[in-house]
Structure 1
Amino acid sequence: MTKIAAAQVKELRDKTGVGMMDAKKALVETNGDMDAAVDYLREKGVSKAAKKADRIAAEGLAHVSIDGNVAAIAEINSETDFVAKNEQFQKLVTDITDIIASENPKDIEEAHSLKMGEGDISSEILNATTKIGEKITFRRFARVEKNDNQVFGDYEHMGGRIAVLTLLEGTDEEVARNIAMHIAAINPKYVTREEVSQDERDHELAVLTEQAKNEGKPANIVEKMVQGRLSKWLAEISLVDQPYVKNPDVTVGQYLKEQGATITNFVRYEVGEGIQRRQENFAEEVQNQLKK
């Protein structure tokens, strides 16, 4: 069998937009002939999916899978919200998340190579892309393990538009889920303010200082004012300092204390966050059509 170099696989992936495993298989089947490999992918219908590679997939679903002392959360994207309601797509999301929980891949590349169906996750995503007719991507995942004294909480908002996984100690699943619901609604960045890096604090402090100066405040009160605003900002982004969404009279930290609970970790995925969506200008599109 012809030995296939990693550089060849990369070249074929760059040319066609297919996954690593599909590129390698095509090169193996064609004894390393690049042109023949491209034809092979076209013949197998893989190139149909590859044509969608430059599209933006910013919709989709996030999902949480819990199995005993292991939990996983994953985000799989599609191009439109309509596809997120497709039963085949929903099953794909659930199956991928379940596999992540059971197999424990180290990164997204390894996750794509995990066995699924008749092939792997990468090939199943490719098949779904071809059948459904939209670009589908497996964007990210996190996997969390717990001990017998800890408990998972999970919450999926709007059918998976937002998914949250929490890990708590000293309490039950109801409290853990309540915290997950709060995180879904309020979107904290950290558990406590102590987790905020010094660089991030310094950056915010600089911004707040400039704001105070631009407001024309006397120099002798700027520092005190800025420190107060910094503390308020830290409270806004830190879970335990936020007013609890079900009872704003207490903070999340106070609610946890009442329940004898502490939170160790949380993961919050909101579908499409950080992805730059393509902006459609329909008026301009119509004008361009009329000019033709």
Structure 2
Amino acid sequence: MAITASQVNDLRKKTGAGMMDCKKALVEADGDMDQAIDFLRKKGQKVAAKRGDNEAKEGLIFAESKGDTGYIIQFNCETDFVAKNSDFQGFVKSIFETGIKAEVESVEELKTLKFNEKLSVEEKIIEQVGVIGEKLELSNFAKVTATSVIAYNHPGNQLATLVGLNKSGEEINDAGKQVAMQVAAMAPVALNKDGISQEVIDRELQVGKDQAIEEGKPADLADKIAQGRLNKFFKENTLLSQAFVRDNKLSVEKFLNSVESGLTVTEFKRFSLS
């Protein structure tokens, strides 16, 4: 049967596939819209299988917060060309909005959600692999809840952060925005030293001890030197102990207390492509 331009356009609106791909799918499906969509999905599965070993290092990261809740997503693709495409950006935002609406907290939960009447989020991503021709990967998704949550999106959408605070208010939100930018710039690995695993602590102590011995320090002092270096590691890599980037005479903890006594960060998330 003859395939009309209207049919092709309708399929394109539903799937985002190119005009020629839509026409071919409709021809294969003898004009049946549902079968044409299935054809494009199968094409996506074939492309996904072929590109499964490819690296998806580019992509987009978005964070959004309102009141006591925030969400952050990382979605990877293979090339910067695709990441900058407005249709791809719209697709990623639609996935993000699906997760926010359902209030999910993880990648696994998000993938199983219904994207539309026919497809789950995971199935929709596979379909888009066929449309775009690159490996696509929903890499990270997280939710933060606190008395107030602040989101920061770094220009370029390759880095974003969420910061949860134990208090709320206009001045506190301003402070939270500064701390969210601190998290983006300084990449802390934990909120405080209690958030550092024993495995990491043991490794840092061993490295510090080995370095001290290699530097010719007496063996009986090596343990003390290693402990000192561990304390420096805590100061540089845990958020509340880090020097505040806008005033390095203050730690982040002291900065927050200068805004309001008892103000602190309860949780943070940082997603980055690099």
TM interval, shorter chain, is 0.7 to 0.9
The alignment of Structure 1 onto Structure 2 pairs a total of residues equal to 230
Which residue in the other structure is 1:144 paired with? 144
Q: 1:187 to 1:224 in 2, by over 3 A?
A: same
1:152 and 1:166 in contact (8 A); partners too: yes
Q: Which amino acid aligns with 1:248?
A: N
Deviation of 1:240 after TM superposition, in Å, equals 1.1
**C-alpha separation in 1, matches of 2:124 and 2:174:** 35
User: What's the CA shift string for 1:244-271, capped at 9, x where partnerless?
Assistant: 1122221111111111121000000112
**C-alpha separation in 2, matches of 1:228 and 1:68:** 40
1:71 and 1:145 in contact (8 A); partners too: yes
RMSD: 2.1
Deviation of 1:220 after TM superposition, in Å, equals 3.4
Which residue in the other structure is 1:90 paired with? 89
Q: Secondary structure at the match of 1:249?
A: strand
Deviation of 1:72 after TM superposition, in Å, equals 1.3
1:65 and 1:94 in contact (8 A); partners too: no
2:164 and 2:267 in contact (8 A); partners too: yes
User: What's the CA shift string for 1:165-213, capped at 9, x where partnerless?
Assistant: 1101224322111111000000001111122222321121011101100
Q: Secondary structure at the match of 2:52?
A: coil
What stretches of structure 1 move > 3 A for 4+ residues in a row? 40-44, 104-107
Which residue in the other structure is 1:270 paired with? 272
Which residue in the other structure is 1:27 paired with? none
Deviates more, 1:64-73 or 1:223-232: 64-73
Seq. identity, %:
33
Q: 1:110 to 1:197 in 2, by over 3 A?
A: closer
TM-score (norm 2): 0.77
1:166 and 1:263 in contact (8 A); partners too: yes
Which residue in the other structure is 2:158 paired with? 161
TM-score (norm 1): 0.72
1:72 and 1:98 in contact (8 A); partners too: no
Q: 1:67 to 1:102 in 2, by over 3 A?
A: farther
**C-alpha separation in 2, matches of 1:105 and 1:177:** 24
User: What's the CA shift string for 1:211-246, capped at 9, x where partnerless?
Assistant: 100111122332322221111111111111111112
2:75 and 2:139 in contact (8 A); partners too: yes
Deviation of 1:49 after TM superposition, in Å, equals 4.1
Q: Secondary structure at the match of 2:230?
A: helix
Does 2:112 match 1:103? no
